[in-house]
Amino acid sequence: MTATPTREAPSGSRGFDRALADLEAAVGSALVLDREVIAAYSHDQAQFCVPGTAAALVRARSRDDVVAVMHLAHEHRVPVVIQGTRTGVSGAAIASDGCILLSLERMNRILEIDPVERVAVVQPGVVNADLSRAVAEHGLFYPPDPGSWESSSIGGNVATNAGGMCCVKYGVTADYVRGLEFVVPGGTVHRSGRRTAKGVAGYDLTHLLVGSEGTLAAVTEIVLSLVPAAGPQLTAVGVFDNLSSAARAVARIMSNGPAPAMLELIDRPSIVGVNDYAGLGLPEAAALLLVQTDVGRHAAEDLDDFVAALAAEGATDTVVAADEAESKLLVEARRLLAPAMMARGTLLIEDVCVPIQRLAELVEGVAEIGRRRRIVTICPGHAGDGNLHPAVLFDAGDEQQVAAARAAFDDIMALGLQLGGTVTGEHGVGTLKRDWLRTELGSELLELQRAVKRAFDPYQILNPGKVF
């Protein structure tokens, strides 16, 4: 450690120097005071969310380290910001002034995989893709697959109730969390939920914590449900020359027969971006719909039904993958979208969720916002559950474009609510959407939620300034 930490006591704290000394005695080498390292841990992937100046970083190695931080922070009234791998895009993991950053990324062991009960027990730092590959060896499947699945942690997925492309059929993270071990301010360890498939004893604190973005407790262990491995994946792409037809095709697929394993919409600006980035030669239509099935011997039959639905609603062409390898290539084209757009500039990615019948209005509205604000906007996403990812592409070094991007963000939030939706389907509120949470919930419901936070965190030290 070559740098000296800032020793000024954070606002509202008592005896910060003593807290730091006690912390060093408790966690030893897990405590980091190097200013450059702390700065590197002080932000996530969010735009327009300026981190504060953290006082220290603890890279927890065990539950004991977490208990020590939560005990001493509570005792000395020092704020704590809990972090995973910091892949979030809403600013929930950025530093607050004078805080202790509590990183859980080193708590990354898969503790157990039980094929009989179909559960996995993991620490919060386990990376999503690593878990998926590990359970696949047992013929099992962990479905939630956020776009950042190769780098995002299960703890972070729990904190934001992350989703992904498979959610249209399989559901989101909350649908797979059976139980949690967590530490509250003061350092007390609790367990909620269960390992069993059923259980309704008491309030459901487990699912209260899922999606709470580090504002209530530090999760140190997670019991996850698993499902049998899916069958071969077969994929088709529908090409549409107008958004309304594409939206009607989504509604037709979702209202008839089995649910697809994936139903993704790629709008024209997104298609152009991926083609420019990877040279894939995707047809540059108004929209592409990527639909997939994975139900073994019925997969081909279901895919035929999905293709018929695409054609019935005006698809000008359909392309069916010849085999599972080709299916994976088509899905990879969708996963390339974010890096393709980020190669062109700064990208502000959002996740408005609206009723499926309003999808066309959302995509068209986002395009109109881009024209009005004179800035590039795109609107791809998870069409099957109405959770699209409007995004704004801008030059962060151009003040006019930054101002236009901020204005476009607010316009998109307002549009999502006007269409009967929500300002966040899976990314969370963090700091980026804090003001919009009040608009969506109203003051009375917001105060009820704040009362829940006070019950867990009476001194308001956990992730201050986030969500509320």
Q: 63-100 pLDDT, tens per residue?
A: 999 999 999 999 999 999 999 999 999 999 999 999 99
Cα separation, 286 vs 359, in Å, equals 14
Q: At what angle do helices 299-312 and 243-255 cross, to 10 degrees?
A: 140
| Predicted model pTM | 0.93
Cα separation, 69 vs 87, in Å, equals 23
Backbone angles phi, psi at 191, to 5 degrees: -125, 135
Q: List domains and CATH numbers for the chain.
A: 16-103 (3.30.43.10), 110-228 (3.30.465.10), 231-325 (3.30.70.2190), 345-451 (3.30.70.2740)
Question: Of residues 231 and 98, which shows the higher confidence score?
Answer: 98
Per DSSP, the chain holds a count of helices (H) and strands (E) of 16, 20
H helices present in 262-420, as ranges: 268-278, 299-312, 324-335, 337-342, 359-373, 399-418
Residue 15 pLDDT: 61
Residue 400 CB contacts under 8 Å (≥ 6 apart), including other chains: none
Classify 118 as helix, strand or coil. Answer: coil
Closest CA to 126 of 147, 152, 148, 144: 152
434: which DSSP letter?
H
What are 276-306's pLDDT values in tens digits?
999 988 999 999 999 999 876 777 888 999 9
**Continuous segment of H or E residues that includes residue 210:** none
Q: Region 164-172: what's the mean pLDDT?
A: 93
| 8 Å CB contact between 148 and 89 | no
